[in-house]
Chains A and B, each alone.
Chain A
Amino acid sequence: MASTTADDAGSGRLAGATVTMRSGAKNIAYQPATLNPTPSKRYYLYLMLPAIIILAAISIYPFLWLIYMSLHKVDIGGAGDVWNNFKNWSRLARDSKFQDGWWLLIKYSAMCMLLEVGLGVLLAVILNNSRFEKMLVTIFLMPMMMAPVIAGLVWYYLYNGTFGWYHWLLQSAGILGETSILGDTSTAMIGIVIVDVWQWTPLIILIVLAGLKRVPRDQLEANMVDGAGPFRNFLQISLPNLYPFLLIAILLRFMDNFRFIDAVLVLTGGGPANSTKILPTYLFDVSFQFFKLGRGAAIALTLLVVTIILGLILVRLFDSPAGKAGQTSAEN
Chain B
Amino acid sequence: MTDKVNITLRVNGKSYAIAVEPRRSLADALREDCGLTGTHLGCEHGVCGACTVLVGGKPVRACLMFAVQVGETEVRTVEGLAKGEVLHPLQKQFWENHGLQCGFCTPGFLMLAAGALEADPDISDDELREVLSSNLCRCTGYQNIIKAVKLAAAEMRK
The answer to whether A binds B is no
B-side interface residues toward A, CB under 8 Å? Answer: none
